[in-house]
Amino acid sequence: DQQVKQNSPSLSVQEGRISILNCDYTNSMFDYFLWYKKYPAEGPTFLISISSIKDKNEDGRFTVFLNKSAKHLSLHIVPSQPGDSAVYFCAASGNYGQNFVFGPGTRLSVLP
């Protein structure tokens, strides 16, 4: 049973436009969420996080939105750049962040 879902395996966006990556979760105990980016042959790198006490967090071109009632979060990248092409993972944690559950990832391609 997948507790964290990313229903779009892939997404293509034109350079300069907005990229929106979605993530849904089923466990209402999750209270801390993170987004990671992964390039081939590298480990995932942290992008941005959000706690359940917030509904939005921004860091430069990256914004994460959390809708707790819908158990849904999204990552917005504006403007998208070719260097953003990677696999993006959504991760969620409950119990004070002892461990994290990852979604299957969405492959983003930003076309020049």
Partner 1 sequence: NAGVTQTPKFRILKIGQSMTLQCAQDMNHNYMYWYRQDPGMGLKLIYYSVGAGITDKGEVPNGYNVSRSTTEDFPLRLELAAPSQTSVYFCASRRGGVGTGELFFGEGSRLTVL
Q: Residues in the site for partner 1, rule: CB under 8 A?
A: 4, 6, 9, 31-32, 34, 36, 41-46, 49, 51, 89, 91, 93, 96-105
Question: What are the E-state strand segments in 4-82?
Answer: 4-5, 10-14, 19-25, 32-38, 45-51, 56-59, 62-67, 72-77
Query: Least CB distance from residue 34 to partner 1, whole Å?
Result: 6
Kindly tell me which of 17 and 54 has the beta carbon lying closer to partner 1: 54
Query: Least CB distance from residue 15 to partner 1, whole Å?
Result: 26
Kindly tell me which of 79 and 102 has the beta carbon lying closer to partner 1: 102
Class of residue 53 by CB neighbours under 10 A (exposed 0-12, middle 13-18, buried 19+)? exposed
Kindly tell me which of 15 and 68 has the beta carbon lying closer to partner 1: 68
The tokens for 3 are: 């507790």
